[in-house]
Amino acid sequence: MPNQPVYHSAIDSVRALQWTGNALRVLDQRKLPGSVEYQDFHTAKGVAEAIKTMRVRGAPAIGIAAAYGVVLAAQAHHAQNPDTWQKSVIQDIDILAASRPTAVNLFWALDTMRKAIASGGNGPSSLLAIAQSIHENDIAANHRMGELGAALLQGASGVLTHCNTGSLATGGYGTALGVIRSAYALGLQNIYACETRPWLQGARLTVWELDQDNIPATLIADSAAAWLMRSGAVQWVIVGADRITANGDAANKIGTYSHAVNARHHGVKFMVVAPTSTIDWNTPSGEGIEIEQRERKELLSDYYHRDDSVIDAWNPVFDVTPASLIDAIVTEKGVVLNPTAETMQTL
């Protein structure tokens, strides 16, 4: 394993989260690609709202943002009550924890910050160093995963990805999209991205991000994925994860499970890429994952919002792909092929 990952900065120019010193600057992903707008958040409650409203999205990015949210809370409460600031920060941590239920990186980052507070330290400055380390380590881990995942793609002419797993969803470079970036740098030519309804993270975010770095890609409707696989145009489906359980089951954006089923039927390999902070060792299988349900209005047009409408909507944000349909889980600590509860322990 090399001591330092190989950074392809020319194909990684987007940054969704920026620390300014007294605020977290967030790229509002709801407005892409029509406009590129950053907003500054000065409080933990503001960061929690940014996560809840999907200004910030993607499991690693949510964890990083939450860590900076704790720093903002510490700065504010330490200035007001230098002797009792820790108790107030813990209350803000609870607010941040309630912002999204599925992404395990959120709880991992908050637990890291909570332990630092409990151990004492130098107040806000020490917490900032930890948050920045979480951010920097995420980028380094993504580059490492990019190398490991790209090595599995040798001989592949095409790949398909779902949702957005790039710099917009992480500290930088990306998880699944980081693998695709690394593979592109090594000569991969055919990259396909699904629209990813209902928020269109693929259509609005993934292809925009690739366009910023001049990486050619082809957008398809979600419902075209099986037909694309049948055509032989792709040999791998590469996705990220919001939570991976101890046995290798993976929760990811709704529609991922469908791709896994179709991939197995068509002889296409299926890869999940995520840092080890995404692994929930305390949950044995996907049966124990809470699946977030979002509002029905995200699916229904205004016409059906009237009181006398008999039409409802079911809007799960994630689904769970069983480990039996996954060919490889790629982390910064190594690759698990054909994951099971036993092989996952190698990590």
Tokens 């813990």 — which residue? Answer: 90
CB 255 within 8 A of CB 277: no
Residue 90, φ and ψ in degrees, nearest 5: -60, -40
Distance CA 318, CA 201 (A): 13
Distance CA 165, CA 178 (A): 8
Distance CA 176, CA 6 (A): 16
**Identity of the residue numbered 298:** E
Dig out the tokens for 112 from the structure: 């890291």
Active site (annotated) includes residue 308: no
Q: Which of 92, 222, 242, 327 is catalytic?
A: 242
| Alpha-helix residue ranges (DSSP H) falling in 34-163 | 44-52, 59-80, 85-97, 104-118, 124-152
CB 198 within 8 A of CB 315: yes
CB 329 within 8 A of CB 244: yes
Tell me the catalytic residues: 242
